[in-house]
A and B are shown apart, each in its own frame.
Chain A
Amino acid sequence: MSESAIRRIADGEEGTVHPPYLHPDYRSTRLRAPLRPLIMLPESMHDPSGPVYGDDPPAATDSDLTAQHDGEPLGERIIVTGRVLDGTGGPVPGALIEIWQANAAGRYVHERDQHPAPLDPNFTGAGRCLTDAEGTYRFTSVKPGAYPWRNHQNAWRPAHIHLSIFGRAFTDRLVTQMYFPGDPLFAADPIFQSIRDERLRERLVSRLDWDTTTPEWALGYRFDIVLGGRDATPVEA
């Protein structure tokens, strides 16, 4: 095979840590997953890339979701922090992280979330920040609630925070969800379970961190993010 050859590869066989497109237990994948093999481009044909995400840098207040309104939101106050790393373990400074989440009652500020849980006038649930020179980010928020959805009878999402990350390259782009340790809803959640390998799923679970926890103020959770989608050493099946 020549270096410029274009190969076809089946969904889930790309050698990444990501879940497949088609995961029928998650109903919305059934009509949205592409069913033809994917096209694998050779390295020499990568897309133009760079740490570009527009010209609107985050303000310092964008990272404190509890300070965006006149009063304080209800719920357990939390600090979420961690580092954004590249595939070799090196820090990614200047990475843009955008987060969004439900409030403590499990309700999103979105017109299509109409489940009967209260909105909180003091909580929107969206934040942004840039990583520092060590690749560290930090948000203050409240712990999101679990919420029901209509995927199947008695479907409930485990509490989670959505994250969107821009690294250095197009191939670093990542959108994921951070979960909280020990959630009993993990086993029944088809989105979490779309990642087949338990060790890979565990990478999406933050850990309670006493060094980040602030006495009399907020519980701290640590969540590191490794970009690139491929392990340096592949996980054995």
Chain B
Amino acid sequence: MSGAAGATPSQTVGPFFSFGLCVADQRHLVGPGHPGAIRIEGVVLDGAREPVFDAMVEVWQLDEHGGRGDGFGFGRCGTDAEGRYAFVTVKPGGPGAPFVAVLVFARGLLKPLRTRMYFPGEPGNDGDPLLAALAGRERESLIGVDRGGGVIGFDVHLQGDRQTAFLAL
């Protein structure tokens, strides 16, 4: 044997991950009292529009200054019986259109689904090269919905005519 070893393939997270992966609270990237705190919430739905109750959503993002101070930037939330997840965080700062990088794991997903949530009403959205390459429902699928009161809705459709736009790993 010589040279670099081969990459390790992915396998599904399965249905029983919560006691291993979702014990600590990783839904709060900031405390609810943090200045500018927002809530990102949504449901994960399958191709029959049934809630995916055994999914795990992970997010990565920059902080409000566009940096990664103090290890900021990672969140994880398992979905509940109705397929719901939620994070408390801040809108990322920095140049360009702000977005949150998203991975979805679940029973039945042999590798994670990768997508992005952009923020509604951002002037930078029009200049974003990913959003610019998409149109109609597909473009809409990547932009959160302002639900008022600092809540942004972001539903993930795994399959079907409203399927979220997913990025290759």
Interface residues of A (CB under 8 A from B): 4, 6, 9, 14, 16-21, 23, 26-36, 38-41, 45, 47-50, 52-56, 85, 87-89, 98-100, 102, 108-110, 112-113, 124-127, 162, 164, 170-171, 173-177, 191-192, 194-195, 199-201, 203-204, 224-233, 235
Contacts and interface: CB of A to CB of B under 8 A. Distances in A.
B74 A195 contact: no
Contacts of B107: 28, 32
B7 A54 contact: no
A18 B17 contact: no
Given A52-B73, A55-B71, A170-B60, A32 B158 contact: yes
Interface in B122-169: 129-130, 133-134, 158-159, 163-169
Contacts of A108: 16, 19
Contact of A52 (B72, B92, B159): B72
Contacts of A99: 20
B47 A100 contact: no
A146 B54 CA distance: 21
Contacts, number: 226
Nearest to B99: A47
B62 interface: yes
Interface string B70-101: 11111010000000000000001000000001
A39 B71 contact: no
Given A16-B169, A48-B101, A226-B6, 4 more contacts: A45-B129, A87-B7, A110-B16, A177-B12
Contact of B168 (A31, A39, A175, A201): A39
A209 to B, nearest CB: 15
B46 interface: yes
Contacts of A38: 166-168
Contact of B106 (A17, A32, A232): A32
A124 B166 CA distance: 35
Contact of B19 (A110, A194, A226): A110
Nearest to B26: A54
Nearest to A41: B167
Interface of B: 3-21, 23-24, 26, 46-48, 50, 52, 54, 58, 60-62, 68, 70-74, 76, 92, 101, 103, 105-113, 116, 129-130, 133-134, 158-159, 163-169
Nearest to A53: B74
A48 B61 CA distance: 6
A54 B28 CA distance: 10
B93 to A, nearest CB: 12
B24 to A, nearest CB: 5
A126 B20 contact: yes
Contact of B13 (A45, A175, A226, A228): A175
9 contacts: A19-B111, A28-B107, A33-B158, A47-B116, A52-B68, A52-B73, A126-B19, A127-B20, A227-B7
B6 A176 contact: no
Contacts of A127: 20
A41 B130 contact: yes
Contacts of B92: 48
Contact of B109 (A21, A125, A229): A21
Contact of A17 (B8, B72, B101): B8
Contacts of A53: 74
Contacts of B61: 48
Q: Which of A100, A112, A204 has the most CB of B within 10 A?
A: A100
A23 B108 CA distance: 9
B27 to A, nearest CB: 11
B7 A226 contact: yes
B16 A112 contact: yes
A18 B60 contact: no
